[in-house]
Amino acid sequence: MKTKISNLNSWIISPKPNPQADLRLFCFPYAGGSSLIFRSWPDSLPTSVEVCTVELPGRGRQMKLQPYNKIEPLVDAIASVIHPYLDIPFAFFGHSMGGLVSFELARLLRKKYGTLPVHLFISGRRAPQIPDLEPPIHNLPELAFIEELRQLKGTPPAVLENAELMQLFLPILRADFAVLETYIYTSEPPLECPITVFGGLQDSEVGCDELQAWQEQTKADFNLHMFPGDHFFLHSSQSILLEKLVKYLPHNLLT
């Protein structure tokens, strides 16, 4: 019996539940992002794919939970929750912070359960073995932190200028940036699943070489595709990104 995605599970949300699916695509948001980022994805994917978005603590249905500020306990928590839903073939897609989280989750699932995604899609995130040379921002004073967010262009100006909304978002954003900025890479054998990496041609955060370096993390096929757009090209180039993603899913599972 296939485990159904339950509405009672606040971690895993399916925008369009599909009990007949042959493959689950788990999607991991960028820093400050929620499951809403992926709400329209099922409309552009084959009917045999069930989109399952991972809702991190501090947002959406998980609003009342404290956000994590370290990657190890976060990935550990996701692994326990997600494991029952890995009873059919599955793939991971993660953008920016979500890319790093999905990679570390894949490594933990291999170690803990001997299971791996059929494909790992990483978007807008440099390879994990490349150290972060930028000074950390997660513990900056409020005004300086907001200014850094403005430069990154991921938070709408209307939100940045709304003091009440920012009081809600700041703890989540600080925690997410702490997850990234306290991350320490540890060497493990490359994954046995293919990795496809997506990047934005105008992304000032992540360069082509930093994306190409993901090749070291797989023993299987590796591909890199660049799309028009800045760090948030997954929104502006969504349709061509999803078109490309589908080409790498196992064809025998698609209808």
Please identify every residue annotated as catalytic.
96
The helix (run of H) or strand (run of E) holding residue 173 is: helix 163-181
Task: Using the structure block, give the residue that is written with the tokens 């595709």.
Answer: 225
226 three-state secondary structure: strand
**In 17-40, which positions are buried (b, 16+ CB within 10 angstroms) versus exposed (e)?**
ebeebbbbbbbbbbbbbbbebbee
CA distances from residue 87 to 64, 115, 136 in whole angstroms, order as listed: 29, 10, 39
For residue 250, the one-letter residue type is: P
Decide: 51 and 121 in contact? Cβ < 8 Å: no
